[in-house]
Structures are given as C-alpha cells and as structure tokens.
Amino acid sequence: MLVFSTVHAHTDKIAELKAKLEATQEEEERVYLLCELSKQYWNSSFSTALKYGNKAIVLARELNNQKALALAYNNIGVAYDIYGNYSEASSYYYKSLRIRESIGDSAGLSASYNNIATVFATQGNFEKSIELYTRSMEISKAINDTKAVALALSNLGSIYQEKKEFDKALDYILRGLQLLKPDDAATLVSLNNIGFIYSKKGEWGKALSYHHKALNFSRRVGSTVDEAYSLSGLAEAYMAGDQPEMALPYALQNVELLQKLNSKDEVKNASELLDKLYIKLGDYKNAHKYLSLQNQYADSVKAASVKTQLAELEFKYENEKAAQENLLLKAQTNLQQQMIERRNTAQLFTGALLLLVGVLAVVFFLGRRRMHRLNDLLIQKNRDVLEHSTALTLQKEQLAGQAALLREQKEELEKLNSVKDKLFSVIAHDLKSPLTSLQGLLQLIAKGAVPQDKLKPFMASLEASQQNSLWLLDNLLLWSRIQMRGLTIKPEATDLNGLVQQNIRLLEPQAEFKELQFTCDIAASHSLFADREMVSLMLRNLIANAIKFSKKGGYIRVASTLKGNCVTIAVQDTGIGMAPEKLASLFSGNSTSSRGTADERGSGLGLQLCQYFIERNSGSIWAESEVGKGSTFYFRLPAASVTQPEENAPTVAAAVEMA
C-alpha cells in the first residue's frame, strides 16, 4: 500500500471550514480554506474534492499566489490518484512540481516527489519510484520534517514489498514507524503494510495482529481508506491460513467500502479476491457475481471507449470554460485599465485648467480681449473632456454587456455538460452491466466452473437483465428524440383495456421470474383521449416498476375509475414500498434510481418520461406508498367522451431535461 499525504474527513472539521469560508472577506485566507476543503473530501467525495480544488485554482490565479496554486494542483492530483485515474493525477502532480521548483518550496517539493513516485509504483516502474522516494526523503531530512521522512521510508518499504524483498521491506517500514507518534494516523499505513508482508511470508497469525490494530485505529480516526485496506489485509491473512469462511465477512465489508469510495482499481482487486473465496467455498453463483464485477471495473481501469469519450468531452469543456474565464478576466482588466486612464485624463485636464486660471490671473491686466480668447479655449477643453468621458462610459457599458453574455454562455456550457455526464453515465454503466454479466458467465462456463444443472437460473436472470436493458435503450432513444427534434403528440380515442392487456402480456416473463400474479380491473367502456404510444409507454414503465420492487409471490393490480370527464388509472403492488422522504421527492426531478428486489438496475428515466408525457396529455400523476406494504401509482387523463377542439391538430412537445 503506497501513501501520499492523505487526510481523514470529519464532518465537524468540514462544517468549521465552510463557516470560516462564508465569514471571511480576506481573499488570501479564502484560497487556503478552499484547498483545505478539497483535502477533506479526498476520501469521501471525489466530485466535491474537485469542485473545491478548481475554485482554489481560479482564486489563486487571480491573486497570483503561486504557492496556493501549486497546493490546489497537488490536491486535485491526489483526488484523481485515489479515484484510480493515474493519467490525470500525474498531469496535476507535474503542474504542482514545476511551480514549487520555481518558487523554492522545499516542503512542497518533498510532497510532489512522493506523490509522483506513488504513480510510478502503481505502473510497476519501481526503479523510478525508488529514486523519487529517496529524493523526497533527502529534502525532508534537510528541513527536519520527521513525519515526511517516515512517510518516504514507509513507501520505500512498500516498493520492496512489491519486489518480494520482504526482509528489506520490513526494515524500511519499521524504521519509519519508529519516527511516528503512536497516536499519529500515519502509522495506519505502516501497520497494514507489515501485516501484508507477514501474510506473504506465511506468518498469517502475526499478520492478523497488525491488521486488527490498524482496523480499530482507522475506525477510531474515521479513515475509510485505511479501514478498507485493513479489511483487505484481514481477508488475505485468513486466506493465507486456509480459512476462507473467516476471510469472507472481511472481504465483503472491504468491497462495499471501496465501492463507496469509487476506487476502481481497488474494487477490481477486492472482487477478484471474493471470486476466489466463493469458488473455494463452492458458491458459484456469488463467484459469478464478483467475477462480473471484477470484469466491469477492469474495463473501466483499462480506459474503455465510453470512458475515453467522456474524458475527451470533459477536456473540451474544461478548455472552453478556461477560455471563457480568460475572456471574462481580460474584459474586466480592460475595463479597470480604461477607468484608470479616464481618472488620469481627468487629473491631467484639471491640472491644465488650474494652469490656465493662473495664466489668466497673470495676464488679466493685459487686456479683456486676451482674456476672452483664453476663456474660449477653456470652454473647448471642457467640451473635449465631456466627450471623452461620455465615450468611456459607453465603452464601460459595452464591456459589462460582454461580460454578462460570457457568464450566460458559461452557465449554458455547464448545463450541457451535466446532461452529457448523465447520458454517458447511463450508457457506460446501466447498458454495459448485462453484457459484462454475460461475459462473466461465459468465462465460468468455458472454465467448466458451473455445472449444467445450475445453468438454468443464470440464463433466466440474464434474460430478464437483457430485456430491462432493451427497455432502458427505448427510454434513452425516446429522451434523445425529445432533446434533439421535439416529439409530436397525437391525441386520439384509445382503448385502455387493450393497452393494459398488451403490456401485461409483454411483461409476463419478468413477472413469472418472481412468481407474481396480475389482476386487471379495467372497465371495457373506459377509453382515453390521449396519444396511444405515450399511454402505452406510461403503462409499461409503471408496471415494470411494480415488478422491479415486488417481492417473490406478490401480486400487481391495474384498475381504472371514471369520474367526470377523466379516467384515473392505478398500478398497485405489494412490494417493498417507499419511505416518506423518498415519496416526497419522487416527482421533483431530483429522485435517483434504486435497485429492485432482484438487484435490477434502472436509469431514473422511466418516471421522468411518465410524468412528462402525462402532463403533455393534460393529465396528472401521483403516488401513495408505505414501507414494507407496497406502492400505488395513479395517473389521470381525459376520457374519450370529453368534447375535443374542432381541429385536433398534433402538438409538438418541447425538449424534456433529464435531471
């Protein structure tokens, strides 16, 4: 386990920093508060760490504070390092290093060399890594930074551990541990590394002792990353002792923590360990599950094509954003320069005026004619000053307008980037997951690890997963049509009972998989005046949602009632239900998708499209739910008997924005 300068996030510490940031008016203090907030989110929220880091970069540039700018670059590099994006991490580390070399920041140089060495180590370039860790340690010794020396020694020990030179590794790590105080959180890394070394040497009893110490300490200080490494070490120690049943709970806790941290490379390694554990225990179903998860994260670590497209789009966005910020800064600078020139011009003319008054006083007695001539000259000068002042005011207004336009364009770019991130996120994860599962199953079959009599449950699960992916693709394509060209709404008299029966038949395979029963209480006389295709999509999404959250052996009821000129349709299930806070945010646009009772995935698009189509067909939608008892979704649409306009011309739906 290699270490960079990490920080353990505490809620109280974060709240204190945010309060200081809100209260202070000093820009120099603000830039360092932003850097500290970025560090606090390293181990808990990658996106928030980037947000505060980028804000610190912008402010440091405005203040021309090179030390703070280098610190902000370094913080973003660590965030990418923890996230597993070593290419981006290296880019930011070298930006920080160049600045620190130019300003002679010794402590900063030591940290930069340490972090860059960590990246080389993850890539297997151990010789370059040893060179940089040694350089970091020498700088730290020169400035008497004992903690940094200990960190470099620990990392050198980790390198020799990777090279399987275990005795040399123990020597370096123990030397570093002696330099640290017992209550220093930095000792966590050394404790875990010693445990891993003893496991490799076959002394798994000693390994357990060190990993348990690290686990208790990491939970006491709130370090999620170190807790995950401690759990991994305990699992590996028990595996080294041929006790897979003791290793299993620690391995499961480890992968759950790493998924929360979204550390892709470590999730892949943890999934590989669980795959081996379950095969050793004879549980092939769970072995397949974690083999699929391993392949999924392996694809992500290898920079699959979807991730590459996202990186390119993000790079273009950041460049455009930086260009616009530069234009805005340039406009502000020009405005300030012109204001300074205007003030200097005014001062110049004021001086000239005083000089003229003095001359007039001296030559007053020389004659009124000369005095009149000088007065005329003064009037002309004043007129010139006024015209120049008016021109400057007009230029100021124009520059202010340009600055406002640039801000609007920046906000629009951020909005488009958010939509792009959501779309590619759905494509990259929800559509790829069934294919990854299929790939994992085929690999297990090819290895002969799955008996023939156990294939049928796998095939049924994969069939349901592929069907869900097709519906997700339908929703994505429909959403894309709305975004790009608009969608035509064609209301017509629609047979409700026929549409319900059609969608029930379509969804029967998924219902049979969970042994669900359907009840259809739709009156034959109930007919809607709405777009037939949109109503069919609403029914399909709501019934599919009911199946997704229903428990095995439950039932689903679809019913309708006629009241006045409207028909109300209800889709009821006996599933897991929703908490009041989840129900309250369901149609707010901020609701996120949850996994079903059979671990089914979703994109969050279904209910958004239902709400959008129902509202465009002059209807409304709402829901009732109770945890553990199920949910009922209602939507109301005009009945076919309602008097329609003389010309039932199609209407064009505006683009719906995906939350």
Structure tokens of 153? 């020694």
What's the whole-number mean pLDDT along residues 13-18?
90
Report the C-alpha gap between 488 and 485 in whole angstroms.
Answer: 9
The token pair that represents 69 in the structure block? 């700018």
Which run of H or of E encompasses 638?
A: strand 630-638
pLDDT digits (tens, 9 = 90+) for 202-228: 899 999 999 999 999 989 988 888 899
| Bigger pLDDT: 119 vs 382 | 119
Are the C-beta atoms of 145 and 110 separated by less than 8 Å?
Answer: yes
What is the spatial distance between Cα 163 and Cα 156, in angstroms, rounded to a whole number? 11
pLDDT, tens only, 525-580: 999 999 998 999 999 999 999 999 999 999 999 999 999 999 999 999 999 999 99
Give mean pLDDT, residues 581-598. Answer: 79
The torsion of the CA quartet 28, 31, 37, 39, rounded to 10 degrees, works out to -110
The predicted structure's pLDDT at residue 425: 57
Q: Is 63 exposed, middle or buried (0-12, 13-18, 19+ CB in 10 A)?
A: middle
User: For residue 183, is pLDDT > 70?
Assistant: yes
The Cα–Cα gap between 176 and 190 comes to: 8
Q: Which of 257, 232, 244, 229 is nearest to 286 (CA)?
A: 244
Quick: pLDDT tens for 474-519.
666 666 655 555 567 889 999 999 999 999 998 888 888 889 999 9
User: Long-range contacts of range 103-110, CB-CB < 8 Å, 24 or more positions apart?
Assistant: 103/66, 103/67, 103/70, 105/67, 105/70, 106/139, 106/142, 106/143, 107/143, 107/145, 107/148, 108/67, 108/70, 108/71, 108/74, 109/136, 109/139, 110/136, 110/139, 110/140, 110/143, 110/145, 110/148, 110/152
**Cα gap 54→57, rounded to integer Å:** 5
CB 586 within 8 A of CB 545: no
Burial of 259 (0-12, 13-18, 19+ CB in 10 A): middle
* Among candidate residues 218, 146, 157, 156, the one with its CA nearest the CA of residue 183: 218
Checking if the pLDDT of 427 tops 70, the result is no
Per the CB < 8 A criterion, the answer to whether 571 and 606 are in contact is no
> What value does the mean pLDDT of the chain take?
82
d(CA 185, CA 150): 12
Torsion sign over Cα 613, 615, 620, 622 = positive
The pLDDT, as a whole number, for residue 547 is 92
For the cut 80, the answer to whether the pLDDT of residue 655 exceeds it is no
- Which domains are present in the chain? 486-593+600-653 (3.30.565.10)
Cβ count within 10 A of residue 19? 11
Q: What is the pLDDT of residue 310?
A: 42
Pairing relationship of beta strands 517-521 and 555-563 according to DSSP bridges: parallel
594-644, pLDDT tens digit by residue?
A: 788 877 766 667 788 888 889 999 999 999 999 999 999 999 999 997 444
- List % helix, strand, coil for the chain (3-state, nearest 5): 70, 10, 20
Per-residue model confidence (pLDDT) at position 621: 94
Distances (CA, A) of 338 to 124, 381, 575: 56, 20, 68
Burial of 345 (0-12, 13-18, 19+ CB in 10 A): middle
* Contacting residues for 337 by C-beta, under 8 A, at least 6 apart: none
**Helix (H, G, I), strand (E, B), or coil: what is residue 586?**
coil
Binning pLDDT at 50, 70 and 90, where does residue 106 land?
very high
- Which tokens in the block code for residue 79? 């965030």
Say which residue, 464 or 132, is predicted with more confidence.
132
Please report which confidence band the pLDDT of residue 162 belongs to, taking 50, 70 and 90 as the band edges: confident
Is the CB of residue 80 less than 8 Å from the CB of residue 92?
yes
DSSP-derived letter for residue 639 is B
Q: Which residues contact 31 (CB under 8 A, 6 or more apart)?
A: 56, 59, 60, 63, 65, 68, 72
- pTM, entire model: 0.41
Q: What is the DSSP letter of 650?
A: -
How confident is the model over 124-142, as pLDDT tens digits?
899 999 999 999 999 999 9
3-class secondary-structure state, position 562:
strand
- Tell the burial category of 535 from Cβ atoms under 10 Å away from its Cβ (0-12, 13-18, 19+): buried
What is residue 642's predicted lDDT score, i.e. its pLDDT?
Answer: 47
Do β-strands 651-653 and 487-489 pair in parallel, antiparallel, or remain unpaired?
antiparallel
The pLDDT value given to residue 574? 92
Given pLDDT bands bounded at 50, 70 and 90, which one contains residue 646? Answer: very low
pLDDT band at 657 (very low <50, low <70, confident <90, very high): very low
Scanning the structure block, which residue is given the tokens 């769970």? 286
Contact call for residues 21 and 30 (beta carbons, < 8 A): yes
User: What average pLDDT does this structure show over 638-657?
Assistant: 50
pLDDT digit string, tens, across residues 281-329: 889 899 898 888 888 877 665 553 344 344 434 434 454 554 465 566 6
- Give, in degrees to the nearest 5, the angle at Cα 32 between 26 and 37: 120
Whether 140 and 178 have beta carbons less than 8 Å apart is answered as: no
Distance CA 30, CA 45 (A): 21
Single out the residue of 635, 647, 497 nearest to residue 566, CA to CA: 635
Tell me how far apart the alpha carbons of residues 180 and 477 are, in angstroms, rounded to a whole number: 58
Position 259 scores a pLDDT of: 86
pLDDT tens for each residue of 52-70: 999 999 999 999 999 999 9
Taking the C-alpha atoms of residue 109 and residue 69, their distance in angstroms, rounded to an integer, is 14
Q: What is the rounded distance in angstroms from the CA atom of residue 321 to the CA atom of residue 314?
A: 10
Helix (H, G, I), strand (E, B) or coil at 163: coil
* pLDDT value at 51 more than 70: yes
Contact 186, 179 (CB under 8 A): no
Q: How confident is the model at residue 441 (pLDDT cuts 50, 70, 90)?
A: low
How far apart CA 3 and CA 118 sit, in angstroms, is 7
